[in-house]
Structure 1
């Protein structure tokens, strides 16, 4: 009788442990508290209860976005404004404050940016609390986003990133949903189309690409018919220079100390270098982007192992390549990278921890170079150049590291498991992996 009771207790205990394991990690109270405090601080900055050092980053919302809003609500795109450089669905983000008519435009935009931040966190938490997943991704989002300062809530990139995070996490079980979200994100700001690069298998990959093509085609046709000038943005960037925060800009920051006769001007909505040899550096940047995507194509052709986290890792690498080689690296671009790094680290098997950490550190140096010490960056003094070298150097290191890790994880031959010799009770030897 005693033995039976003991057996029942042991069985009950095992069930309890199993149930606890199935529930996953404990509820992340500390993580949520950290998110709440940091986001409250961001809201206090954008609502100007506290003044953040440097130029006012909210003017893009109160001036540029609001002016676009007035044009878009008439049923047309800003055809005479070369600073409108976005795909047609971006109009939805600019018009979104109309959902909160009881608030002024800028206030409504900040609230909706906050909501997008919350949605991204919720998706990462929901995924991270599932069995065989991790909360590392949620922590990357919670810590990384506020390091960029109030710029996060003063641009619509956080909304696009929330869509991208949803697409990556949906791709594990619902490739069609991933395709739809990636296409919608692409019509918001192009880069989410890169999320599809790592989709695996003819069946799942075909579903993702097929639904993306159908969604993109349908929405593009709808915008073309409904609103004139939906794709006028494609011709608005012909004469762009090299933006002062990009990797290529370091050439001119240093050249200014050696007699380079160029200018720093507000051009196409950003501060850029204009003058001798700028077109050469811009061309080199475009060539680097082309080489980067050539490497991506080579990886896709050579990859033989597609794991549950491969699509997320590949998306992170693709956007890193796109961002680092671009002739424009605006501070809000780091929001994309933080979101995709977070999506990668939801998966326990992802090897993107080191490049994700580099992106988080780069975010801190990004807020230093803009807006805190942006005057030093524009002046090309030693402080400004140092901040850019560190930030852009971290992005290059993260890109190279992530690319190598992705290649090793999916292309390099798998390392065979060590073989152990064992002797059976009968004296025979057996080999077991």
Structure 2
């Protein structure tokens, strides 16, 4: 039980007034989370995982292709050559990404690898689900946490198979858990976010938000440094000095990318292609397994996106610092800043893969718990963005790749809603101005 609430329950020294106060406090106490509700949400999340596995097993788009072909292929190559991706050989992801891929192989083997992957993802999702729907079930914010947990389960279902069939599915629960620990266990939060960033880069945005907003930021930085040192030392012990270049191969592997057709910046060019403006071509880049668009202006836009991303991120960080110095509270700044940085990471990216939109769940879940009503609209927009993303992939992907009018329209609406979330994040960072309380006597005196 919450200690502060526990103290309020203690009656004054043998007095009836103290007992009455305790009874009133009991009546005001919000309802906790029952065991049945906790079981229901875990079963719902398990059901979503099972459905996505079934859907991926027959749909013509092969939405788990990254898992069953790419990830499994890397493991097979490693077994044949004895070279660990990310240590002995380059890897498009940070080196710890190979760990959940290997765990899926241990669980599912060669023939049931997709099943093993879903089990690993579900186990990863159980940690934040426990923190949201089972841990401290009688706390004052228990119902808010349960509501946020149900929002997350529905968001996963709306986003579709891409929410579970990519390496991002491992990092999203890590970031949610890290943010839930942020207030009281900042070192744990920093360590988890660093682990997430060594699986897929995007949790670094949440790490930046944490060290910007938390007054004990040095603890997070130290924890992150320890995790990074352990990763590097382990890789060097296993692979020797040559491992260092492979540890950073995920950075150089992204520099040659063109403009992915699903990215926000590509939306304008897809629309131009849909109205038959000459010069635009959509093609499959087999080297990095992505669909890109080329044509007048695409190379220039792709070249400016990375600098733009850093400029926008610096702007959000500066805005957060200003907000904190002008009365902004940590509980409001952290989710808003995380939302802004994550949305920027998606919007100003040459890549726009559908799984990226699952990243939005982490700051929205935190905002729903810590900042309540102000996240109602972002939560709804987040659901719509997830649903439109699933509509784009896998259901309308052929329309997008062929620059069909319908594909360009759905893609454009989804991208505009993401930019709307970016604007919402900026507004949520603004300090909440409360009217100053003026005692009645003072106001009457001033009016004379």
Is 2:95 the counterpart of 1:88?
Answer: yes
What is the distance in 2 between the residues matched to 1:10 and 1:319?
Answer: 51
Aligned to 2:119: 111
Q: TM (normalized to structure 1)?
A: 0.85
Is 2:279 the counterpart of 1:260?
Answer: yes
Aligned to 2:317: 297
CA distances 1:334-363 after superposition (whole Å, capped 9, x unpaired): 211113311221224573332232111100
Aligned to 1:324: 347
What is the 5 A alignment of 1:177-188? 177-188=188-199
- CA deviation after TM superposition for structure 1 residue 397, in Å: 0.3
Equivalent of 2:266 in 245, 249, 274: 249
Compared with structure 1, are the counterparts of its residues 47 and 72 closer, same or farther at alpha carbon in structure 2 (3 Å cutoff)?
farther
Q: Identify the range of structure 1 (252-261 vs 368-377) with the bigger mean alpha-carbon deviation.
A: 252-261
Contact 1:312–1:344 at 8 Å: present in 2 too? yes
Q: Identify the range of structure 1 (85-94 vs 131-140) with the bigger mean alpha-carbon deviation.
A: 131-140
Is 2:196 the counterpart of 1:176?
Answer: no
Aligned to 2:257: 240
Aligned to 1:142: 153
Equivalent of 1:277 in 297, 310, 324: 297
Equivalent of 1:356 in 333, 357, 379: 379
Runs of 5+ unmatched residues, structure 1: 1-6
What is the 5 A alignment of 1:399-414? 399-409=422-432, 414=433
- CA deviation after TM superposition for structure 1 residue 380, in Å: 0.8
- CA deviation after TM superposition for structure 1 residue 58, in Å: 1.3
What is the distance in 2 between the residues matched to 1:328 and 1:371?
Answer: 17
Is 2:73 the counterpart of 1:67?
Answer: yes
- CA deviation after TM superposition for structure 1 residue 79, in Å: 8.5
What is the distance in 2 between the residues matched to 1:10 and 1:260?
Answer: 81
Contact 1:262–1:276 at 8 Å: present in 2 too? no
Aligned to 2:235: 223
Contact 2:282–2:401 at 8 Å: present in 1 too? no
What is the distance in 1 between the residues matched to 2:173 and 2:312?
Answer: 25
Compared with structure 1, are the counterparts of its residues 353 and 49 closer, same or farther at alpha carbon in structure 2 (3 Å cutoff)?
closer
Contact 1:124–1:342 at 8 Å: present in 2 too? no
Is 2:422 the counterpart of 1:416?
Answer: no
Is 2:42 the counterpart of 1:47?
Answer: no
Compared with structure 1, are the counterparts of its residues 121 and 276 closer, same or farther at alpha carbon in structure 2 (3 Å cutoff)?
same
- CA deviation after TM superposition for structure 1 residue 417, in Å: 2.2
Q: How many residues align?
A: 415
- CA deviation after TM superposition for structure 1 residue 182, in Å: 1.2
What is the distance in 2 between the residues matched to 1:244 and 1:49?
Answer: 22
What is the distance in 2 between the residues matched to 1:284 and 1:201?
Answer: 28
Compared with structure 1, are the counterparts of its residues 348 and 233 closer, same or farther at alpha carbon in structure 2 (3 Å cutoff)?
closer
CA distances 1:237-296 after superposition (whole Å, capped 9, x unpaired): 222111111111123212322112434223412111134432112023223212211212
Runs of 5+ unmatched residues, structure 2: 1-13
Aligned to 1:163: 174
CA distances 1:196-231 after superposition (whole Å, capped 9, x unpaired): 324467851111122212222332332244243222
Compared with structure 1, are the counterparts of its residues 386 and 204 closer, same or farther at alpha carbon in structure 2 (3 Å cutoff)?
same
Compared with structure 1, are the counterparts of its residues 417 and 72 closer, same or farther at alpha carbon in structure 2 (3 Å cutoff)?
farther
Aligned to 1:4: none
Aligned to 1:287: 307
Q: Identify the range of structure 1 (282-291 vs 238-247) with the bigger mean alpha-carbon deviation.
A: 282-291
Q: TM (normalized to structure 2)?
A: 0.83
CA RMSD of aligned residues (A): 3.1
Equivalent of 2:218 in 175, 195, 206: 206
